[in-house]
Homo-oligomer: A and B are copies of this chain.
Amino acid sequence: MKLRLTVLALAAALLLPAVFPGQGPRAQEPVQKQVFEAGSYRTRGGGTIANTRVGYQTAGRLNEARDNAILITHFFSGNSHAFGRLGGPQGPVGYWDAIIGPGRAIDTDRYFVISSDTLVNLNVPDPNTVTTGPATLDSATGRPYGLTFPVVSMRDFVEVQKRLLDHLGVRRLALVAGGSMGALQAMEWAAAYPEMVARVMPVIAHDIDPWNLAWLDVWEAPIRMDPNWRQGDYYAQGRQPPLAGLAEALRIVTLQSRDRQWARGLGMRPAEGNDPARNLLDRFAIEKWLDDAATARARTSDANSFLYLVRANQLFFNEYDSPEAAFRRSQARWLVVPTANDRVFPIEGVREMVETLRRVGRPVAVAEVAGPLGHLNGVANMGPLSDRIRAFLAE
């Protein structure tokens, strides 16, 4: 029950279609959340995480050549649940259910598909997320790390995933694909382990530029402003977590991940019983909607983890002289999937990235994802790209 509520809250926050596409080519199969114990991990920045654990799920089977694996990397507020019915035949389906499953574009009858929770995952209070981050107990002190947790980068996410793939016996990836922050991980993979990655599909993202970096800081600022944040030291019993700041941070993300067309559905009308033309603190309906969605989402999220996630995004490609230098390392084929009216990663930035990829000689194709949601089209509306993805995997 708790699971279902959590997933419904997530779906509400993402405005996923109310009806999930449960009848694909074949019914979706159940998946089970598993835990990978990665052991002691030394971060790229030189910190140490004593006991590193992340959750993951798989579907399909690894072939004898161990080269039919596909890695799905999740977005900022997501977790490993990209495909399959979680927990049983009646469980909720994953966010990319439309393109991953038996007989679907990313066919679990042919591929061994893996998706893992990242380090410093946002969904700490969600029982279906397993992560290691500032809310994790530090075995040295018996208390949560808080801000003593080392800074991690997008590359650190990849390194922990690499350990997971080694553990699973994967030798080569037919594809790494993800939306938004998932795309960032996919791009880091292509640069970090070029010999291992045959194809990359970054969806609704380009390389993080200074503009994105500054917006990420705008996202997190309300958390730092919340008096309950206490420099990250809010886990002790009797203390309140900075839910107001976290909700405000999530409100900004929620709005920027959508678009004008979506907003029109809520219109310019006042919230019920409110009169904003006369009372300064009264609310409009769209404000109330964002308040409610973000407040619900804050309850299944952790504020410090939000800050660490922001920093990991800001440290995208931080080990390379330039995005071009990173792209030059890649040996993969690229299918880049932008969406028009993306307010997080503007489509002209994606076009610039494609030009850079072409300039350094990477094989790259572009397929747009459409819809009224803006950035979130890349999470909620991928179904129509199925044939294009199938063709990409056959190249």
Contacts and interface: CB of A to CB of B under 8 A. Distances in A.
Interface of A: 44-47, 147, 150-151, 153, 208-211, 213-215, 217-218, 221-222, 225-227, 232, 244-245, 248, 251-252, 255, 259-260, 263-264, 266-268, 276-281, 284, 286-287, 290, 307-308, 311, 314-315, 318, 341, 343, 346, 348-349
A263 B45 contact: no
Closest 7 CB pairs of A and B: A210-B263, A211-B263, A211-B260, A217-B287, A214-B286, A45-B278, A45-B277
A215 B349 contact: no
A46 B277 CA distance: 10
Contacts of A251: 218, 221
A234 B153 CA distance: 41
Nearest to A215: B255
Please tell me how many copies of the chain the complex holds.
Answer: 2
Contact of A277 (B209, B260, B290, B315): B315
Nearest to A208: B268
Nearest to A315: B277
Interface centre among A217, A244, A279 (most CB of B within 10 A): A217
Contacts of A208: 268
A217 B266 CA distance: 15
Given A215-B255, A268-B318, 8 more contacts: A44-B277, A208-B268, A210-B267, A213-B268, A214-B255, A222-B225, A276-B311, A341-B346
A243 to B, nearest CB: 12
Given A222-B225, A287-B217, A280 B311 contact: yes
Contacts of A280: 147, 151, 232, 307-308, 311
A153 B277 contact: yes
A263 B214 contact: yes
Contacts of A222: 221-222, 225, 248
28 contacts: A44-B277, A45-B278, A46-B278, A147-B280, A150-B278, A151-B277, A151-B280, A153-B277, A208-B268, A209-B264, A209-B268, A210-B264, A210-B268, A213-B284, A214-B284, A218-B251, A218-B252, A221-B248, A222-B222, A222-B248, A225-B226, A260-B349, A276-B314, A277-B318, A280-B307, A280-B311, A284-B314, A343-B343
Nearest to A207: B268
A267 B349 CA distance: 15
A314 B343 CA distance: 21
B245 A213 contact: no
